[in-house]
Structure 1
């Protein structure tokens, strides 16, 4: 088989390139394109032999695209226009312009690529931009399938639900194609047991329902009191339902423990949460242990912001979180800090997050890349194992 000629758009730190390697499909990245200078430094550091174009996609002409003579596109367009916490500007957001340029150029290429893989945030599937994408590839003769997938379905203890589209230039549908449906599971392969697949799919659908259900925190001033006739939150701003969900995730033996992804010898002091932050955000932290089989999605603000940016790790495993939190009532600020410090909570290191995202041990950062920059770049990246699996399915 002739190696595929791959164009990597919005290449970032090279998650797509890494996934392509992991898929073992014979391929060569003919060009990677991104305007983020810090991301480009990291890309060059890890893929020194790949042509990296530091320019805007809108600035690339049809002739330039044609000259690259690619037969596969891997891309992860800016997600800000579609994210649930953003303004959801969709096609009106200027950050969508580069992607609209790709959709304009695609039908006019001298030779259409055979394969397309796109990654974005959950929310993209209900956007006008997505409708335009579907219309464009449909007119070009592509068969496609959409997915919402999380690394947990591959046994990785990290929730990172993302939208994916795979498309192939052919007249026959994919064997697993479900028109109009966004699949929540990887397609079944020959070797898989159909019954197991059905159970997994059911579990994932249930998981999605839980994830989408916005739970209002049931806040009481005293965690031992009764709130509006119902039992109060046991500790932290978590409902009994949320605590139960986390316990269920931790008992799912198909998912590995976090300790498999942790670094052995690090200077933990530089990653411990500052006492002031501990006090301020104590009730909002998502705390996991090395034996946990779950962690929340790490975002680009991790390490700087504490609310909703990713889990923190409790390094004293013999201390019970519940006992610490229940003992906080009526204590002075100093005493509260002393109690909370007993948990020895720390941030995950950039390397540990890279491990959870599926980057191999040899993947690294140039020395001058700061910790803050590393967190930011990883928060914008994708899960390598999930994409590698989809590339294999696409090229089968």
Structure 2
């Protein structure tokens, strides 16, 4: 089986979020060189743009995937799809429209028109901290003071998060979403009050943000979002002894979602 995988099937993922848009254009010399090289070696290629949202996972990280089968193997469900078309769903599965682009694709229950549910983040979270103790992953006050305006803040009831990078908890902008545990407060209103207090040099300004209970996602929560630990299954995952929390975040960041890869591999072998 390993020999077959190596010789006849070739999956590839392109995960750089800032360079993705330029890579997938028809004028991209890198993409054209890659495709022409594979085809010259006898591979039939299939390109896709997939996000975990399509499989009900509340993470919006969009990635480019390239599948390659060596001729005479063929892909199923292609129908009349034109050559070099970059697909937004796996052939044979329901069409999918990004709800961030077309909000009519999502109804009030968080279901896409095709019927695929997008889970709420609360399904992926650890249990509450007891006795109102500070959360071990609370955002430090000095970070809130200086960088709070740059956070991508999500709620337990939210159905999306942005990409999580290996710099999560160390960097702020584009490094990953921050969780607001208090689902009952209006984030914008609270931050407006905070910024007003800051502008007036109020030494108690940070107290305004505390009721939001802003924190980072824990490493285990990220493993659930990336589907290393699927929902509804007992966790058999454990970290090697001595791995620091910082290292855990670095190892998890920029991971490919396991559910998406599983679906692609299943399709690849059809």
Question: If the length of structure 1 is used for normalisation, what is the TM-score?
Answer: 0.57
Contact 2:163–2:254 (CA under 8 A) maintained in structure 1? no
Alignment match, 2:256: 382
Q: Does 1:264 align with 2:164?
A: no
Counterpart CA distance in 2 for 1:365 and 1:145 is 36
Contact 1:275–1:341 (CA under 8 A) maintained in structure 2? no
Alignment match, 1:334: 203
**What are the ranges of 5 or more consecutive residues in structure 1 without an aligned counterpart?**
6-69, 74-112, 190-196, 211-244
Q: Deviations over 1:75-112 (max 9, x none)?
A: xxxxxxxxxxxxxxxxxxxxxxxxxxxxxxxxxxxxxx
Contact 1:250–1:292 (CA under 8 A) maintained in structure 2? no
Counterpart CA distance in 2 for 1:279 and 1:249 is 37
Larger Rg: 1
DSSP 3-state at the match of 2:260: helix
**What are the ranges of 5 or more consecutive residues in structure 2 without an aligned counterpart?**
112-116, 230-234
**Equivalent residue for 1:252, pick from 110, 115, 139:** 110
Alignment match, 2:226: 357
Mapping 1:82-161, distance limit 5 Å = 113-121=7-15, 122-123=20-21, 124-126=23-25, 127-161=28-62
Question: If the length of structure 2 is used for normalisation, what is the TM-score?
Answer: 0.81
Mapping 1:278-293, distance limit 5 Å = 278-293=144-159
- Deviation of 1:173 after TM superposition, in Å, equals 4.1
Contact 2:164–2:254 (CA under 8 A) maintained in structure 1? no
- Deviation of 1:285 after TM superposition, in Å, equals 1.0
Alignment match, 2:114: none
Counterpart CA distance in 2 for 1:163 and 1:363 is 28
The list of structure 1 runs, each at least 4 consecutive aligned residues, that deviate by more than 4 angstroms after superposition, is: 248-251, 265-268
Q: Deviations over 1:26-53 (max 9, x none)?
A: xxxxxxxxxxxxxxxxxxxxxxxxxxxx
- Deviation of 1:263 after TM superposition, in Å, equals 1.6
Counterpart CA distance in 2 for 1:337 and 1:322 is 15
Name the structure where helix makes up a greater proportion of residues.
1
Counterpart CA distance in 2 for 1:341 and 1:250 is 30
Aligned length: 242
